[in-house]
Amino acid sequence: MKRIFIIILPLFLSGFLFSQKKPQKKPTKKLTVAKFNYHDEFTKISDEILSNGTAYENLGELTKGIGPRFSATPGYDKATEWAEKKLKEAGAENIWKQEVRVPVWIRGRESLQIKAGSGDWKNIRMLSFGNSEGTGGKDLSADILLVKDIAELNTLTSAQVRDKILFVNSSIDQKIVNTVDSYLIAAKSKLLSASIIGKKGAKGLIIRSLTTASDDVPHAKMIYYEPDDKARIPAVTIGVKSADELEKLLKRQTVKARLNMSAESKGETINHNIIGEIPGKKDSKVIVLGAQLDSWDFAEGAHDDGCGVVQCIEVLRALKVLGFTNNHTIRIVLYANSENGGQGRESYAAYVKKKEEKHIFALGTDSGGYSPRGFSLDMPPQRRKLIFEWKKYFLPYGIYDFDQTYAIQDISPLKKLDIPLAELVVDTQRYFDYHHSTEDTFDKVNKRELLLGAVAMTQLIFMVDKNW
């Protein structure tokens, strides 16, 4: 009996306890997180920019109102004042200048003449390389020696090269469909190095312009000299037609060149990067958009890179007008001294490192205002994958190319800080027809193509801000 009682009692008690009603909890409301219909958001962005975008009018002001804006010139100073004004109009809440030390290089007078055999001197249209040494305003005369590739140059002895002006008639490979790739391959050629050719004993360098065009317009390039160069030789570029005609002449007879350049370097001065931003509402992490503000001293710089400048400003304007509540800080950086030094981009990267600012994304645009096709993504695979997942939202706008991996030079120093980089990819088939030449003018830009590029950039910034 005792044992039975012990067994029954716990059962009785457990039944009694479990039979009691448990206190009812009040139903809790589920927290709802704002979800976006991204297709709708993309439409809002596109409608606003295509209907009310100001990028094209701004580009006209920059190129026609200000004109060339080369480093260390009054034109660049005017461009910085203009940029500050436009960023304020677009809705930037914080705007400031960042000091940048830039080289002072003056092109001055320049001329190139050639004479075949005992014929007369003939003027050839030319441009000095940016930062090139000049001839002191005096005539430099010498026989021209044709070189086609680096293998040929390596076979030449110093005796064969000494006191000659070397002519490099090496063209962009027209078989490469992606013109950016073909340009970069050609631009990296050691044949274009005045240092290498100078060490062989040459007195000067003439190159065929790096262009996809078939006209006779010369296209500028920047020269680099090695610190140990004992003689820094002058370097110039000529148009495609002149280059082909010169090669034909050289195959038949001796051709002499007479080069006269008053180009000179005069130390350094201060220019400024122009920076404007909308502070983040959630945190101070930075999403940066960058473009170069300067142009060559002879050029309006419409596609290179006036289009990029006004597209960045348009992104800011559209986000403000649409009432976009940004989680992170959206910052625009308009870089100084991209064409003949790159000090603006280096200064900004140094600033980010010193301030230990957290940048989560950088977007650049420096390929012209042509129809957008996608984004080049220079970032870790996991980040690339996130952007690939958004492709379906971009496809209705003709944005399909997310496979390229290069990043433009003005944001490239940020890669050292492990910041994911991207660049607007456009249809560049005409870009290198005008690149670094007097033909890079406002009339070469199509308004709708320019605005579509701004649409794609704004859509990408929206996605990164909401999802990263």
Q: For the chain (length 468 residues), average pLDDT per consecutive 10?
A: 39 39 47 72 98 98 98 98 98 97 97 94 96 95 92 89 94 91 86 86 94 95 85 94 96 96 96 98 97 97 97 98 97 97 97 97 97 97 95 97 87 96 96 96 98 98 97
Instruction: Give the contacts of 213 (CB within 8 A, at least 6 positions apart).
Output: 240, 432, 433, 434
Please tell me whether residues 311 and 283 are part of one structural domain: yes
Q: What sign has the CA pseudo-torsion 84, 85, 86, 88?
A: positive
Please tell me whether residues 79 and 168 are part of one structural domain: no
Which has the closest alpha carbon to 310: 454, 411, 437? 454
Which has the closest alpha carbon to 316: 373, 368, 274? 274
Please tell me whether residues 369 and 429 are part of one structural domain: yes
Please tell me whether residues 206 and 231 are part of one structural domain: yes
**Given this model, what pLDDT does residue 273 score?**
98
Please tell me whether residues 368 and 255 are part of one structural domain: no
Which has the closest alpha carbon to 317: 75, 37, 55, 14? 55
Is residue 171 assigned to a domain? yes
Please tell me whether residues 130 and 272 are part of one structural domain: no
Is residue 12 assigned to a domain? no
**Given this model, what pLDDT does residue 31 score?**
40
Please tell me whether residues 244 and 336 are part of one structural domain: no
Rounded Cα gap, residues 272 and 347, in angstroms: 10
Residues shown for the chain? 468
Q: What sign has the CA pseudo-torsion 84, 87, 89, 94?
A: negative
Rounded Cα gap, residues 226 and 251, in angstroms: 32
Is residue 18 assigned to a domain? no
The residue assigned the tokens 């010369």 is 218
Quick check: 132 and 263 in contact, CB under 8 A? yes
**Given this model, what pLDDT does residue 242 score?**
97
Give the β-pairing of 255-261 and 110-116: antiparallel
Please tell me whether residues 158 and 75 are part of one structural domain: no
Is residue 27 assigned to a domain? no
**Given this model, what pLDDT does residue 18 score?**
37
Determine the structural domain holding residue 294 and report its residue range.
39-102+268-467
Peptide bond into 305 cis (omega under 30): yes
Is residue 416 assigned to a domain? yes
Q: Which of 241, 265, 289 is the last residue of a domain?
A: 265
Please tell me whether residues 442 and 352 are part of one structural domain: yes
Please tell me whether residues 220 and 303 are part of one structural domain: no
Domain total of the chain = 2
Quick check: 297 and 254 in contact, CB under 8 A? no
**Given this model, what pLDDT does residue 365 score?**
96
Q: Which of 232, 265, 298 is the last residue of a domain?
A: 265
Is residue 30 assigned to a domain? no
Q: Which CATH number goes with the domain that contains 212? A: 3.50.30.30
Q: Which of 265, 286, 315 is the last residue of a domain?
A: 265
Q: Which CATH number goes with the domain that contains 393? A: 3.40.630.10
**Given this model, what pLDDT does residue 9 score?**
38
Please tell me whether residues 74 and 145 are part of one structural domain: no
Is residue 48 assigned to a domain? yes
Is residue 210 assigned to a domain? yes
Please tell me whether residues 87 and 169 are part of one structural domain: no
